[in-house]
Amino acid sequence: MKKIVIDEEFCKGCGLCAEACPKKLLSVGKKLNKQGYPLVEISDEDQDKCVSCALCARVCPDVAIRVYRQKKAQ
């Protein structure tokens, strides 16, 4: 399951999320969105390393990132 979902239409590749990530899992890639901005990326392998702290989503000025957490078993 993906923990971080990046909305490609809103991402402007500013890199603030990559700087905020305590595990440094995000990076500005070479793929461009429809507006010509480079997109922030996270690999499938790094999705598993994500701790769902949501700092990336909190600092995103374009609200382009959603972070999901798995529910704890009760």
| pLDDT tens figures, 15-28 | 999 999 999 999 99
**The pTM is what?**
0.88
Q: Count Cα neighbours of 2 within 13 Å in the Cβ-side half-sphere.
A: 10
* Residue 9 confidence (pLDDT) above 90: yes
* Range 4-67: architecture per CATH: 2-Layer Sandwich (3.30)
Contacts with 12 (C-beta within 8 Å, 6 or more apart), sequence order? 35, 37, 62, 64
* Residue 74 confidence (pLDDT) above 70: no
- Three-class secondary structure of residue 6 per DSSP: strand
Domains of the chain by residue range: 4-67
The strand pairing partners of 6, in sequence order, are 65
10-69: per-residue pLDDT in tens?
999 999 999 999 999 999 999 999 999 999 999 999 999 999 999 999 999 999 999 998
